[in-house]
Amino acid sequence: MTSMRRIALVEDHALISLGFRDLVAGIEDVTLVASVVSVDALAADIELDMVVLDLRLADGSTPTGNVTTLRERGWHVLIYTGAEDRHLIQSAARAGALGLVRKSAPPEELVDAIRTAATGGEVFSTEWAAAIDAAADLADAGLSEREAEVLQMYAAGETAQSVAHHLGISRATVSDYVIRIRRKYSQVGRPAASRVDLYRRAREDGILE
């Protein structure tokens, strides 16, 4: 008897969510137990095998932060996206996602990918292999989710005061975060002494589009 795999969808476009639900309803060995618009909206104690995750979400979260959170909960992750940004794909690969399937892919391709990833198998494609290779070439600085959040805004041109206001922390705390971020990149051989360097590192890691 084939075991039933339990999956969830994190997708903030209602029409795509509806189409996904209808597709999964026709898969005998897979059941969709949750469909939410953000990773934060997904209960941490829910019983799941795998999460299908949109690469771009409107809540401002990053692929690195989202995939890391889901993997820490013990769930496999499959990226489901229409995005073409190789930096975002690369960051999802580095964070531990099992593969990627396009929203434009034929239904049978999506079904195969869901079944494979739900059992912990990697979903191979040319672009996913390229993302893994690229991720292997860049040492992971090991930024925390908050550090990545600070970097996302600061590298995009926000002032330290503006970042502090948005995050509800002090300007001095933002400066401390920036110092730690620079130190972490330097320690893995990816210098980030200037704001331009930070912008480049953030682009490389998919923190900035």
pLDDT in tens, 147-201: 999 999 998 889 999 999 999 999 999 999 999 999 999 898 888 888 888 988 8
Q: Domain check: are 126 and 152 in the same one? A: no
3-class secondary structure per residue, 16-50: HHHHHHHHHHCCCCEEEEEEECCHHHCCCCCCCCE
End-to-end CA distance of the chain: 45
Q: Which of these three, 137, 161, 177, is where a domain ends?
A: 137
Domain count, the chain: 2
Query: How far apart are alpha carbons 95 and 84 in whole angstroms?
Result: 18
Binned at pLDDT 50, 70 and 90, residue 1 comes out as very low
| Same-domain check for residues 40 and 118 | yes
Last residue of a domain, one of 119, 137, 155: 137
In a domain, 209, yes or no: no
User: Is there a contact between 109 and 101 (Cβ–Cβ < 8 Å)?
Assistant: yes
Whether 103 and 68 share a structural domain: yes
**Residue 52 reports pLDDT greater than 70:** yes
Same structural domain, 57 and 37: yes
Q: Is the dihedral of CA 107, 111, 117, 118 positive or negative?
A: positive
Out of 7-16, 76-85, 200-209, the most confident range is 7-16
Whichever domain contains 80, its CATH number is 3.40.50.2300
Coil/strand/helix, residue 66: helix
What is the extent of the structural domain holding 39?
5-137
What pLDDT was estimated at residue 83? 66
Choose the final residue of a domain: 78, 113, 137.
Answer: 137
Is the domain of 133 the same as that of 153?
no
- For 86-143, write each residue's pLDDT tens digit: 778 888 887 889 988 988 889 999 999 999 999 999 888 766 766 666 655 677 888 8
